[in-house]
Amino acid sequence: MAVIHRTTVAPTKLELLTSWLPSRPWYRGGGAGPQLAKAGGFRLDDPEGEVGIEFMVVTDTSGPQPVTYQVPLTYRGAALDGAERALVGTMEHGVLGRRWAYDGCHDPVLVAQLAALIEGRAQAQAQSVSNEPDREVAASHTGEGPLPADFTATDDQDGTRLTAPHGTTLHLHRILRPAPEGPLPPATGATGQVTGAWELPDGTPARGVFAVLHTGPRI
């Protein structure tokens, strides 16, 4: 179970993301830099209790229209070997000391727990409350057998694709778009998905698709 500490973090997560987001191919902002506000998110537990896993949702209001981004992050007590290009930054945690924050799509611990969430073996946890399930997060899986463990992450203008052998693809939506009211149907050809909620800049609640799984060849 992840423990949420009430303490200081420097620099803050939003400050780290303000510097990091413009370097991403899926960033939609201009040259002046993002103006970020927290909009929601959830956590997953690391079974080993070593790595913090957070799916942050932030909204950038620097452009003509607000853009909401999903940023999966992992927090580690030491640098992750071979993951230099996925490093978002380091910060000083008031309880845990120095923490290395990574783009979680490139961290095998987060990817494994996201697969467990889709398969129903893990439960989303509240972003800011210890030991509190997040009932707004829903996951579905209609495929057969366990998901692969050896995904490779690739970023492009459409988001992040986690690919595994034999055609399995997990697409992380980096830009979140509100869906119409009512149940969210699965994407065409999808064998699994994760949906969740966040808050629009005017305080209106929104729901949408966070991740989509396709097993086997894409149609």
Mean pLDDT of the chain: 90
Kindly list the distances between the CA atom of residue 190 and the CA atoms of 105, 112, 140, 152, 170, in Å, as whole numbers in the listed order. 19, 19, 10, 19, 10
Q: Which residue has the higher pLDDT, 63 or 60?
A: 60
Q: Give the model confidence (pLDDT) of 133-162 as tens digits.
A: 999 999 999 877 788 878 999 999 999 999
Are the beta carbons of 160 and 154 closer than 8 angstroms? Answer: yes
Q: Give the model confidence (pLDDT) of 166-182 as tens digits.
A: 889 999 999 999 998 77
Burial class (CB in 10 A: 0-12, 13-18, 19+), 179: middle
Q: What's the pTM?
A: 0.92
| pLDDT at res. 219 | 39
Residue 196 has pLDDT above 90, yes or no: yes
**Cα–Cα nearest to 214, from 150, 143, 115:** 143
| pLDDT at res. 50 | 92
| pLDDT at res. 173 | 96
Q: Residue 1: which pLDDT band, with cuts at 50, 70 and 90?
A: low
Are the beta carbons of 93 and 5 closer than 8 angstroms? Answer: yes
The mean-pLDDT minimum among 27-31, 40-44, 81-85 falls in 27-31
Quote the CA–CA distance of 158 and 181 in Å, as a whole number.
24
Q: Residue 165: which pLDDT band, with cuts at 50, 70 and 90?
A: confident
Burial class (CB in 10 A: 0-12, 13-18, 19+), 145: exposed
| pLDDT at res. 139 | 94
The tokens for 75 are: 């927090």
